[in-house]
Amino acid sequence: MASPPRQPAPEADSRLPPAGPRPALRTRAGTLALDRTVVVGVLNATPDSFSDGGLHQDPGRAAAAAAQMVAEGAGMLDLGAESTRPGAVPVPADEELRRLLPVLRAVRAAVRVPLSVDTMKSSVAEAAIAEGADLVNDVSAGRQDPALFASCAAAGVPIVLMHMQGTPATMQAEPRYGDVVGEVTSFLAERAAAARAAGIAPEGIVLDPGIGFGKTVGQNCRLIRRLDALVALGYPVLVGVSRKSFLGRLLGGRDVGARLFGTAAAVALAVAGGAKLVRVHDVAAIHDVVVVSEAVLGA
């Protein structure tokens, strides 16, 4: 397999987003073009996710929400059945599957966009792929279950590799870094190399700095500000800031339901930094943010 091309030399106009070296992601649902930023809608089939917990456990409601997100501009949907919010405890695979599969089947029947499954377990990923999932989104970047890379490689599905310091149960206790941008970037470079060594194609790898996963408010902001360092690795970058608690803290303790403008600001800056996918709950609003951000960046 060819190596991902290096980031081209910096443009004269540094306000422009770095040119994406891989403008598309190949999935079984077709090619997902990344020349425009893709809005990824979040659908959690969980009772306890920090934002949409309990809303999408019913397959019919999940399918209706999925169809609405696609109508509002989502180019991909991310389905999860295990919360990874700070303090969350792990869910056994059988329970994760019991929650996920009925929702996945209903959503798969309702929409044609690529579906990713947010899981750290190879058994869950394999069952989800058999039911029509097109990508795997692993917040542990293949560390929780070393068999996950092989599952993705065998099925030929892309994977999102996310940085997390610690585990969801403990990660916000005391995040520590010498150089957060350097450490997150070199960690993801190493995980991408491990994924490729396990047989995942380079054009099937997406990197994610893991906003809110073992980071302080300042470290989250720094990672968004210096997204260029991650983009320079040559893989598409996904950013998930939606309604997260660093926004609540920046806004004086704002409630989870009142973080839309904060989310919008962070998404606009992530797009300016070169994010090719943004994972959000409020698809209609963030679709507008992305359209306007790209128009300004391209002017």
- Of the listed pieces 66-74, 78-86, 183-191, 259-267, which binds ligand HH2 according to CB under 6 A? 78-86
Phi, psi of 258 (to 5 degrees): -120, 35
Dig out the tokens for 97 from the structure.
Answer: 């599957």
* Binding-residue total with ligand HH2 (CB under 6 A): 20
- Of the listed pieces 2-10, 21-29, 82-90, 195-203, which binds ligand HH2 according to CB under 6 A? 82-90
Compare residues 153 and 206 and give the one whose CB is closer to ligand HH2.
206
Contact pattern from residue 117 through residue 136 relative to ligand HH2, giving x for each residue in contact according to CB under 6 A and a dash for the rest = -x------------------
Compare residues 59 and 168 and give the one whose CB is closer to ligand HH2.
168
Residues 42, 65, 66, 133: which binds ligand HH2 (CB under 6 A)? 42
Cα–Cα dist 258/247, whole Å:
10
Name the closest residue to ligand HH2 (Cβ).
240
Least distance in angstroms from the C-beta of 188 to ligand HH2: 11
Contact flag: residue 276 with ligand HH2 (CB under 6 A)? no
Contact flag: residue 80 with ligand HH2 (CB under 6 A)? yes
Q: Is beta strand 30-33 parallel, antiparallel or unpaired with respect to 115-118?
A: unpaired
Residues 140-179 that bind ligand HH2 (CB under 6 A): 160, 162
**CB count, 10 Å around CB of 296?**
12
Is 28 in the active site? no
Cα–Cα dist 151/166, whole Å:
24
3-state secondary structure the chain: CCCCCCCCCCCCCCCCCCCCCCCEEEECCEEEECCCCEEEEEEECCCCCCCCCCCCCCHHHHHHHHHHHHHCCCCEEEEECCCCCCCCCCCCHHHHHHHHHHHHHHHHHHCCCCEEEECCCHHHHHHHHHCCCCEEEECCCCCCCCCHHHHHHHHCCCEEEECCCCCCCCCCCCCCCCCHHHHHHHHHHHHHHHHHHCCCCHHHEEEECCCCCCCCHHHHHHHHHCHHHHHCCCCCEEECCCCCHHHHHHCCCCCHHHCHHHHHHHHHHHHHCCCCEEEECCHHHHHHHHHHHHHHHCC
Contact pattern from residue 232 through residue 271 relative to ligand HH2, giving x for each residue in contact according to CB under 6 A and a dash for the rest = ------x-x-------------------------------
Least distance in angstroms from the C-beta of 49 to ligand HH2: 3
Is 279 in the active site? yes
Contact flag: residue 44 with ligand HH2 (CB under 6 A)? yes
Q: Which residue in the list 191, 196, 215, 244 is annotated as catalytic?
A: 244
Compare residues 79 and 198 and give the one whose CB is closer to ligand HH2.
79
Contact pattern from residue 193 through residue 232 relative to ligand HH2, giving x for each residue in contact according to CB under 6 A and a dash for the rest = ---------------x--x---------------------
Contact flag: residue 86 with ligand HH2 (CB under 6 A)? no
Which active-site residues does the annotation give?
244, 279
Interacting residues toward ligand HH2 by CB under 6 A: 42, 44, 46, 49-51, 80, 83-85, 118, 137, 139, 160, 162, 208, 211, 238, 240, 279
